[in-house]
Structure 1
Amino acid sequence: MKTIALVAGGPKEYLPKLTDHHHPQVTWVGVDKGVFYIQESGLPISYAFGDFDSISSREKEELTNNLSNLSMYSAEKDKTDTELALDWALQQHHEKILLFGATGGRIDHLLGNIHLLLKAINDKRNIEIIDRQNHITLFTSGTYTIKKHKDLRYVSFIPISHEVKGITLEGFKYPLKNCHITIGSTLCISNELIHDLGTFSFQDGILLMIRSRD
């Protein structure tokens, strides 16, 4: 599957092992300090975006000299570096977009990055935020199959729209049938799959799914 992997500059300790997500069809893109995370992992960088206000002048000069596909912006702008990179990624029409380095550190950046997943709705693209402990994905109404994962034990569903209607969970420890939940509800947090496969479905709304390690 053709994939774009964006690596933002969040705290390094939250990053998973990037090489575990590499395959020949992945295009690696550095966002600000995330460029160095990719380099340190020994992975090829195809593009880089950012104002690079979090790195030294020497590091900035090194990037300018060594990266041909470098988009450098002013620190005073209307979008974050991550949003600019994601906008570019959506224009490439790859099947999947992974976002690393988007959690930890400042809460405003974390919430902003989670809300960037909304850009996938009109585009019908799979965008996933991945860190050392969590995989975060956004879904619109429909029926979906989910596989049990030996490491990602917990499955949580959080409404992003004002209301999510008709949510049904099958194959879960705590099943639901045609339930309505509103934004701010914690009803669907910390569930678990009890079979190798489960399904979740809902009739209307926008739902955030978070799969987490212990």
Structure 2
Amino acid sequence: MIVHIVAGGPERFLTDFEEYETETKIKWIGVDRGTNYLMERGIHPDMAIGDFDSISKETLHALKDKNIHLLKYPSEKDETDMELALQHALKLKPEIIRIFGATGGRLDHFLANIQLFSVSAEKDPSISIMIIDQKNEIEIKNPGTFEIKKSSAKPYISFVPVTKMVENLTLEGFKYPLKNRHIFFGSTLCISNELIYDFGTYSFTNGILLVIRSCDD
């Protein structure tokens, strides 16, 4: 199963959902204004979460008419709407969680989300958590060896430690290769790399890593 969470960040940063609609066993979760984005694109979420202050009356009526599971919370609470959505997504035990609409808006929310997703990935390494917008694809990775495919749409690849240190990072098939390097939090050594072959690999033995694929245009 794959879970897609659509948050209420600026709409202009959303990627096209059509490329994901052909996948099977997808559950969509709308987070407050993100529910509007889904409904406007003809996608009926399996669940909608938030205080719903930013959802149009038409959308709210449509959600109720279609018996979509609504989880309404007060605007003043200890958790953000995204944290609540992620908690529900994790309970479904999916293979992949993709988050849309989580970039391009408030930096405090974005940074909090990165921390939140990193902690969740560490607790359950079997679930791949990704943040996607028009220019970036961010994946939170636990230790292991991974193959990565060259992409003309997002040619630049950066590796950013989330933990104090990522140990024994090795990059093969890249313009700037590495061999068993320890990368400390705050290092810019692995920013803006590129693949020189159709496929490459990266591996590390300890820590949590953000793998960011991006483009300039």
TM-score, structure 1 normalization: 0.93
Partner of 1:65: 64
Does 1:9 find its partner at 2:11?
Answer: no
Distance 1:115 1:123 in 2: 14
RMSD (Å) for aligned C-alpha atoms: 1.5
Q: Provide the secondary structure at the position in 2 that maps to 1:191.
A: coil
What is the CA distance between 1:64 and its match in structure 2?
6.1
Partner of 1:131: 133
What is the CA distance between 1:193 and its match in structure 2?
0.5
Whichever residue aligns with residue 5 of structure 1, its letter is H
Does 1:21 find its partner at 2:23?
Answer: no
List gaps (5 residues or longer) in structure 1.
Answer: none
TM-score, structure 2 normalization: 0.92
Partner of 1:80: 80
Runs of 4+ in 1 over 4 A off after TM superposition: none
Aligned length: 212
Does 1:36 find its partner at 2:20?
Answer: no
What is the CA distance between 1:63 and its match in structure 2?
5.7
What is the CA distance between 1:145 and its match in structure 2?
1.0
List gaps (5 residues or longer) in structure 2.
Answer: none
What is the CA distance between 1:60 and its match in structure 2?
7.2
Whichever residue aligns with residue 178 of structure 1, its letter is N
% of aligned pairs identical?
Answer: 50
Partner of 1:181: 183
Q: Provide the secondary structure at the position in 2 that maps to 1:184.
A: coil
Distance 1:10 1:94 in 2: 23
Identify the range of structure 1 (9-18 vs 197-206) with the bigger mean alpha-carbon deviation: 197-206
Compared CA separation, residues 171 and 61, structure 1 to 2 (3 A): closer
